[in-house]
Amino acid sequence: MRTTRAKLGLMGMLLLALSGCGDDSGAADAGPGDAMIDSGRSDAAADATSAPPRSFGGDRPARLVVPSSYDADSPMPLVMLLHGYGASARLQDAYFSLSRTARARGFLLLLPEGTVDSTGKRFWNATPACCAFAGIDVDDVSYLRSLIRDVKAAYNVDAARVYLIGHSNGGFMSYRMACDAGDEITAIVSLAGGGFVDESLCAPTNGVSVLQIQGTDDDTVAYGPSAIGPGAVASVERWATRDGCDPTMPVSGDPIDLDTTLVGLETDVTTYPVGCEPGLTAELWTINGGGHIPVVPADIGGRLYDWLSAHAR
């Protein structure tokens, strides 16, 4: 049965678009996406004094959102957002409310796009399992690294505070960047992503702080081990080990609310604080009963930035 836009709220339309189930298109970045971007949690909601987005990346353009508070004499943190498979930077930005957060909190926001495959879906070539399904061999590590360096050349970026946020395929790509470009990356947040199935494929030269967010009822990227990834717990424990933390001594924190459709404080917080190298942490937020695209609270962008900005190289 087709769901009309009149019956969907902004978040509902966004969830349909991110999942590729929008009523106007099979592609996640088409159909209701543009309407949503213009109606709320996006660039269109920014104040008129904010600097306009700038483009980097040449034939694979990426937008850079520059807040009006930017001062060339003061280094500013940089956040890169990596969308999920079949989504787009605009949709993922709307979902996490990051443009609005960047302007309010004062950080540069880089919004790249994955390559379009033969089915019309945008993807990141992150791991052997995710998500170059059409066999297109793209060096996304080099592409994203070059974007970071280009922004650093054009703006006063705080090199100690370069962060990645990714959903699903974008989460896998965030882990890949931590493995292969850890000299550029301070910390990552992965929602419903994961690392390599084969742990030996990750050989980082630097420690990277990691926050994994995962729903236990995710039927796209399993919470536990699967053919796609090692699972949420293993992904975090591996990085805890790489960061010098003791993966056998997790500590439970206060539960939080990350899915507004679930009752109460449904998300368990687990940290691995014992023995970590200075400035490094590994953390897991488990959304009990949560799916692949949780209905996140309106302040999700601020919450994620709070976690990221607590880490500096």
Per-residue pLDDT of the chain (313 residues; tens, 9 = 90+): 333 333 334 445 455 556 654 333 333 332 223 222 222 344 434 443 456 567 788 889 999 999 999 999 999 999 999 999 999 999 999 999 999 999 999 999 999 999 999 999 999 999 999 999 989 999 999 999 999 999 999 999 999 999 999 999 999 999 999 999 999 999 999 999 999 999 999 999 999 999 999 999 999 999 999 999 999 999 999 999 999 999 999 999 999 999 999 999 999 999 999 999 999 999 999 999 999 999 999 999 999 999 999 999 8
Q: Tell me the CA end-to-end span of the chain in Å, nearest whole number.
A: 50
Using CA atoms, how far apart are residues 207 and 187, in angstroms rounded to an integer?
Answer: 9
DSSP 3: P
Based on the number of CB atoms within 10 Å of its own CB, is 135 exposed (0-12), middle (13-18) or buried (19 or more)? exposed
From residue 267, how far is each of 151, 192, 284 by CA, in Å? 35, 14, 10
Using CA atoms, how far apart are residues 194 and 212, in angstroms rounded to an integer?
Answer: 8
Determine contact, residues 31/1, Cβ cutoff 8 Å: no
SS3 state at 5: helix
- Say how many CA atoms lie within 13 Å of 122 toward its Cβ: 25
Residue 88 falls in which region: left (phi positive, over 0), alpha (psi -120 to 50) or beta: beta
Residue 135 falls in which region: left (phi positive, over 0), alpha (psi -120 to 50) or beta: left
SS3 state at 156: coil
Q: Where would I find the H helices in the chain?
A: 10-18, 33-37, 89-96, 98-105, 140-154, 169-180, 232-242, 300-309
Q: Which amino acid is at 266?
A: E
Q: Which amino acid is at 115?
A: T
DSSP 59: T
* pTM for the structure as a whole: 0.87
Give the number of other Cβ atoms within 10 Å of residue 299's Cβ.
11
Q: Which amino acid is at 119?
A: T
Place of tokens 């199935």: 197
Q: What is the pLDDT of residue 7?
A: 35
Q: Which backbone phi and psi does 290 adopt, to 5 degrees?
A: -80, 150
CATH entry, 54-309, from 3.40.30.120, 3.40.50.300, 3.40.50.1820, 3.30.420.60: 3.40.50.1820
Give the number of other Cβ atoms within 10 Å of residue 48's Cβ.
5
Q: What is the pLDDT of residue 225?
A: 97
Q: What is the pLDDT of residue 26?
A: 33
DSSP 51: P
Using CA atoms, how far apart are residues 48 and 61, in angstroms rounded to an integer?
Answer: 24
SS3 state at 147: helix
SS3 state at 310: coil
Q: What is the pLDDT of residue 15?
A: 59
